Amino acid sequence: MDSTRIFKTLFFCIFLSSYSIGALAEQKRTSFILAESPRGEVSVAGSIVVDNLFHKTQLSLNESDTKNSIQTLSRYYTLAKENDKAKLRKLSYVKDGSYSWMSRELNNIPDKFEGFAKLRKADATHKLFWGDYELFIVDWFTEAPQKVMSWYEAVICAENSQCHISNLLLNGKTSSSIFSSVLTDVYAKPLKKVPNLPYSVSYRPKPISDSNQNALVFNFEVEWLNEPLNFNADKKSKLQDKNVQFTHLESFLRELWAVRGDTVKRIVKEKTYKTSLDAHWLDFSTRNLIPVIDPRLGYSLSNYTPVAYLDRLSKIDEVKVEGVLHARNEMYVIITASLLNQQQLVIITLDRKTKKLKQTPNNFKLQEIVNSPEFYRKMASIVNKRA
């Protein structure tokens, strides 16, 4: 091989190596603040993988190709603007249910995309990664110079260099809802220095991804009690000064246990028992559903009516308060409870200021995470290892 060919081969190898390194460098895990303690210390930090080399890109509204994610996103907006329903279906990913979802949407809402005829411009402003998916924040513009709104889109290019649009962030899964809710926090609340938080929980795209690749991760800290606080229907706890924060919790459970065997509806409806709710709850309402995780059903999430939730609490035989996850306005009390002949993890929200039980949090994003199956599994594992 002559020197010229050697030089060309070497240059080509160096070019490929540089390209690979550059491609890898595009993906960067970036952290953000999700919750802080009253002292201003970060108690929960999230992290998402972003494309740190991505620049704002105006999408073509006359795109015909789908070889990469930007082309596919442009193609999607092109078809939406043309209201081409058949091709919108075809562009939707089959394996994660997006094709079926798109078909149902178009059948139920025939004019779903008619408004896109007014779209003058669409800018992809940020790119993120979650599992095999590429996520984009897209700004929409009509005739006015200001953007009309921002929207989130998901593209997957997992098979045979073919890319498809996905309804990942609209599929109703808890993990997708959590990802959507914190997506902009990575830019609005970035963390320059990530604190050393001892525990972590990961969220993956469902239903098709079991890999931790590009997972959404939350790191968090729990303040464990030096000695767990134990009480049941027959035995009061030995509340020390440091544990008066749980007085409302214990008092309310005791009043529930006092009517156990009777209908819990009395607690909600009768004036005598309503006084108990007002005394120990900050914002009890019969109109709001309460999320419950049941380990007997594979840590599935259910939404209970308030009466059903109180009935469930009344069936607890014994309580052991293990620790607290702190937020600025809430305390998430980690409890091991003897419930329905099984030791179960129960997490109850207290208001930071009054120490009363709380139904509606200030930090909805954290509440959704704490009430997710993934978080319950992780917390149950942590508590079991500490036992």
Give the chain's domains with CATH numbers.
50-220 (3.10.450.50), 223-386 (no CATH)
**Number of neighbours of residue 231 by Cβ within 10 angstroms:** 19
Query: Each residue's pLDDT tens digit in the chain (387 positions)?
Result: 454 444 344 333 433 333 333 343 389 999 999 999 999 999 999 999 999 999 999 999 999 999 999 999 999 999 999 999 999 999 999 999 999 999 999 999 999 999 999 999 999 999 999 999 999 999 999 988 889 999 999 999 976 778 999 999 999 999 999 999 999 999 999 998 989 999 999 999 976 666 678 999 999 999 999 888 999 888 877 765 556 789 999 999 988 888 776 656 666 665 555 677 889 999 988 888 999 998 888 899 999 998 889 888 988 989 999 999 999 999 999 999 998 788 999 999 999 999 999 999 999 999 999 999 999 999 999 999 987
Burial class from Cβ neighbours inside 10 Å (0-12, 13-18, 19+) for residue 376 reads: buried
Report the pLDDT value the prediction gives residue 206, as an integer from 0 to 100: 78
Distance CA(264)–CA(118), nearest Å, equals 54
Closest CA to 61 of 122, 114, 111, 151: 122
User: What is the Cα–Cα distance from 354 to 198, expressed in whole angstroms?
Assistant: 28
The three-class DSSP label of residue 24 is helix
d(CA 307, CA 290): 10
Full DSSP string of 51-113: ETT---EEPPSS----SSHHHHHHHHHHHHHHT-HHHHHHHB-TTTTHHHHHHHHHHH-TTTT
> What are the angstrom distances between the C-alpha of 168 and each of 143, 178, 206, 268?
29, 12, 8, 39
CA–centroid distance for 195 within its chain: 20
What DSSP element (H or E) covers 44? strand 42-51
pLDDT value at position 201? 98
Q: Are 256 and 315 in contact (CB under 8 A)?
A: no
> Which tokens is 201 given?
């929980």
Both tokens assigned to 367: 């509440």
- Predicted confidence at residue 268, as pLDDT, reads 62
Look at residue 250 in the predicted model and tell me its pLDDT: 92
Q: According to the model, what pLDDT value does residue 244 have? A: 79
Asked whether 153 and 76 are in contact (CB, 8 A), the reply is yes
> Helix or strand or coil: residue 308?
helix
User: Would you state the pLDDT for residue 26?
Assistant: 82
